[in-house]
A = this chain, B = another copy of it.
Amino acid sequence: MLSENADILSLRDANQRFYDAFGSLDMAQMDAVWEQSDRALCVHPGWQPIVGWGDIRRSWQGIFNGAALMHFNIHYVNIAVEGNCGFVTCVESITSVVEGQAQGFGVLATNIFVRSGPDSDPRWLCIAHHASPRL
């Protein structure tokens, strides 16, 4: 069972913003979600890992350019906060439209966030996204 405290809720909101950005294929929203650093890491399902915001951003742009619609239903598996770090593991149930064809598929993702800003207005930024196909 997930603890429903303020830390967990604000972390879940940040995770949701990640998927809102993804679902709306909006690069400006995705920019606002990520820590734009050399240590940022991204693994798209089945891809080689990408390290560093510059290359990560280019990967999202490529994905966004190739997809006409992405709809996400997120099922939370685990959410934990430790200090200013947060860890979310969730199942992404995705409906995508590519070249006029609707496709449904599942992805398992672990997302790592780091918190900055005042306690009253915490700002979680994603520093790692590791997604893998559900077999």
| Residue A78 CB within 8 A of the other chain | yes
Q: Are B127 and A80 in contact (CB under 8 A)?
A: yes
Majority DSSP secondary structure for residues of A touching B: strand
A89 to B129, CA, bound (A): 11
Contact residues of A between 43 and 87, Cβ < 8 Å to B: 43, 45-46, 49, 51, 77-78, 80, 82-85, 87
In this complex, the interface size class of chain A, counting residues with CB under 8 Å from chain B, is: 20 to 34
A52 to B1, CA, bound (A): 10
CB proximity of A128 to chain B, nearest CB, Å: 6
Q: Which residues of B contact A51 (CB under 8 A)?
A: 77-78, 89
Q: Are A84 and B82 in contact (CB under 8 A)?
A: yes
A58 to B14, CA, bound (A): 32
Residues of A participating in the B interface, judged by any CB pair closer than 8 Å: 39, 41, 43, 45-46, 49, 51, 77-78, 80, 82-85, 87, 89, 91, 108, 110, 112, 114, 127-128, 130, 132-133, 135
